[in-house]
A and B are shown apart, each in its own frame.
Chain A
Amino acid sequence: MRYAAGKVVSFAATLFIISLITFTALQVLPGDPALLILGTEGDPEAVEALRNRLGLDDPVPIRYGRWMLGLLQGDMGESLRYNMSASELILRALPISLMLAGAAVGLSLCAALPLGVLCATFRGRSIDLFGLTFAQFGMAIPSFWLGILLIQVFAVRLHLAPPGGYEGITSLVLPAVALALPRAAILTRMVRASMLDVLHQDYVRTARSKGVSLWAVVFKHALRNAGINIFTVAGIHLTQLLAGTIVIEQVFALPGLGQLLLPAVLQRDLPLVQGLVMIGASLILMANLGFDFILAALDPRIRFD
């Protein structure tokens, strides 16, 4: 219980610190939001009136307090760029980014687990060579480039998927594959190495000598023990992707969090940027927390008390 309580307290403290850093960083950044909204057609009176309405003239601590107060009530304020609630904008974009990150990690696990297990089990044979070559290529190919390639082949030539934009779940297939490949490559090597590690343990040799079949050993003993490492790495990938789909969203013109963040930063849409950073941070922290608990459940060496 102490373990869990400690984790939750550090979760809240981290979020608080992130809110402070985000807010301060955006205040320090040059560029006046009101000026950015009005552009080259703005004159000083209009800029001043707009600053006033947006509450930009109040002292920084007051603005931080107001934002914090709203945040605790689930209100992130109104986006300056879209003139609508920042929470609403984020909630609309969030599912797309979440599905994309989830699908990418799921796909990479689906590819890496069998391949890694096969490589380790038949170490040095042709399947192992294939697996290692795949991993080498996969790690060398950047996602955005693969994305462009996939668009050319599957969208432009074969017309199997839309070449960008969001038209429903089919729009996520190609970007998920593009994101999954490099991660699958890393995971394959991980799975292979962890399996080899376990397969050389004494208890495995004992089990084999007692007549337990190869596959039973692989699935019952080796995979379960290697699982902790594999899930840790998959967890890291997931947290990376929760905030890291910006580039691929750009390539596929997907209306996820990244598409919201980029223009928001350039436009100094403070409420939206702050909201996005807080959401991103909470997601990563929650994912971390979740993985901590799962690992604690998987690994008897981590104690809850």
Chain B
Amino acid sequence: MMFRRMVVLFMLALILALTTGLGSTAQDLTIAVPTDPDSFDPTRAVAAASWEIAFNVYEGLVRTLPSGELTGGLAYNWNVDETGTVYTFHLREAYFHTGERVTPEDVVHALNRIRDPEVSEARAGDFSVIESVEAAEDQIIVSLSRPHGPFLFTLAGMPGAIYPRGAENQASQPIGTGPYRFVEWRPNQHIRLERFDQHWSDSEPFFTTVEFRIMPDDSSAVLNLKTGHIDVIPRLEAALLHQVENEPGLNVHRAPMNLVQILAINHQREPFNDPLVRQAAAHAIDKDEIIFGAAWGEGQPLVTGLSPAMAVFHNDEITDYAYDPERSRQLLAEAGVSSPSVTLDLPAPYAIHVQAGEIVAEQLGTVGFDVALQIVEWGTWLERVYSQRDYDMTIVGLAGRLDPHEVLVRYESSSSRNFFNFQNPEYDALIAEGQTASHDERIAVYNRAQEILTEDVAGIFLMDPSQLAVMQSAIKGWESYPIYVVDAARLYR
């Protein structure tokens, strides 16, 4: 009797174990992401992980397309006056996840909060060019203090998100207008979203629920993918690619990440204050070997400070200093330093930068540089290398943006993000010009700016690693964006 009861209990437990495990049914989508968002409050969030998820929940006046171009979001169209400073947005009929209609006052409220340094200390700076935001019937009129080319792109990001006036708890209970509405956030476990049926768009997303599951460990995520517990890994480490690549039932999508992995050089330090030494270093670097060794061949070599992912603005004509150790030695001899000693600081948590650094040290070593490797913890790196600019060389990834200004302004002499101490008056003038120029003029301006970065060896631009999105082959419709987001509304089974 006792024994039989035990057997029954055991079988029940087994059935429970089997059924609870496989969560994904046809209309549920499970996506593995490595970290939690930091906040869903657009005035607070700074982590890339936040917008990755919130992209499905929030919308701004304009939206980003997979190509990196902009399209109408809550505004169905907009125009700019001839001075380039007054933007008029026409609001479409859209609803918040609470069911309430989006009013021009909501838009004014959200934009006024994000530009208030008291509320949004991290983001207000990006919006400081706004002088006023006003509502007029179904229009929003934004006046800028001066023409600012990247302005619309700023509105497309998370800080441009529109949420209802009086929404108190955006940080953990966000209310937006996007194709999915927020349901639950369990830190370190998951974020659940549900399809929003009142979305203004005609095309309804396929999946009724989307769960972002927090999986800090990529190998664990891969096992979950292989056993069908999750459907998509948007960004897989290249080191694990071999585990999924030839697996039946799984697909890999490759796209440039729009990240600039840079071998940064401190221009104020000996020996790199001498252009000849910088050129010597550039000639010593074999980028293909670095991509092979640090990213398992999954990346694209860069020639300048902009990734080719920014197709419109990237200067394809540039030829950088070719791999030529002989020329490199000659240049060092010309500069009168046959074996300059330098320290290369590498940020510990980023395997791709550390491994690239080990190869760089080797390559620089063969032409005569005496490189000391120093692996530093991220907190120390940010303080000493990035803030205090106390370093010779380092390797880091600079996240791509949608507008070239946001990426290239970093090399302007007075920029606080210019930890290279790069200085070039012509470059500074171009950056200033690019902000006010027309779209076509901007292309020419930034093409020249990119040439300068390469010619002057502002840094040695190594690679843009590939974004490896791996998913069950039943999942269709995947689109990679040049920014760090997952667009669940496009996916279907």
Contacts and interface: CB of A to CB of B under 8 A. Distances in A.
A49 B229 contact: no
Given A50-B121, A164-B223, A165-B224, A35 B35 contact: no
A106 B9 CA distance: 19
A40 B399 contact: yes
Size category of the A interface is: 35 or more
B30 to A, nearest CB: 10
A151 B229 CA distance: 14
A50 B383 contact: no
A165 B398 CA distance: 31
23 contacts: A32-B382, A38-B46, A39-B46, A41-B46, A41-B399, A43-B416, A43-B417, A46-B122, A49-B117, A82-B39, A83-B41, A83-B44, A156-B227, A159-B21, A159-B227, A163-B227, A167-B20, A168-B20, A173-B17, A252-B220, A255-B187, A255-B214, A266-B377
Given A30-B379, A83-B39, A46 B125 contact: yes
Interface of B: 14, 16-18, 20-21, 23, 35-36, 38-39, 41, 44, 46, 117, 121-122, 125, 171-172, 186-189, 213-217, 220-221, 223-224, 226-227, 229, 349, 377-380, 382-383, 386-387, 396, 398-399, 415-417
A263 B216 contact: yes
A255 B171 contact: no
B10 to A, nearest CB: 12
B171 A84 contact: yes
Contacts of A266: 349, 377-379
B417 A84 contact: no
A165 B21 CA distance: 10
Given A81-B38, A155-B227, A253-B217, A161 B189 contact: no
Nearest to A48: B121
Given A40-B417, A89-B188, 5 more contacts: A37-B46, A82-B39, A159-B21, A170-B20, A253-B221
Nearest to A170: B17
B223, B398, B415: residue with the most chain A Cβ atoms closer than 10 Å:
B223
A46 B43 CA distance: 12
Most buried by A among B17, B224, B349, B387: B17
B18 A164 contact: no
Nearest to A168: B20
Interface string A1-37: 0000000000000000000000000000111100111
Contacts of A46: 121-122, 125
Contacts of B396: 40
A35 B383 contact: yes
Of all A-B residue pairs in the complex, the 5 with the closest CB atoms, nearest first, are: A31-B379, A49-B121, A255-B188, A164-B220, A163-B223
B117 A37 contact: no
Nearest to A255: B188
B223 A36 contact: no
B188 A93 contact: yes
B341 to A, nearest CB: 25
B475 to A, nearest CB: 19
B241 to A, nearest CB: 18
Contact of A165 (B16, B121, B229): B229
Contacts of B21: 159, 161-162, 167, 170
A36 B32 CA distance: 24
Interface string A38-61: 111111111101101100000000
Contacts of B125: 43, 45-46
Contacts of A260: 187-188
A170 B121 contact: no
Given A82-B187, A164-B224, A170-B17, A253 B383 contact: no
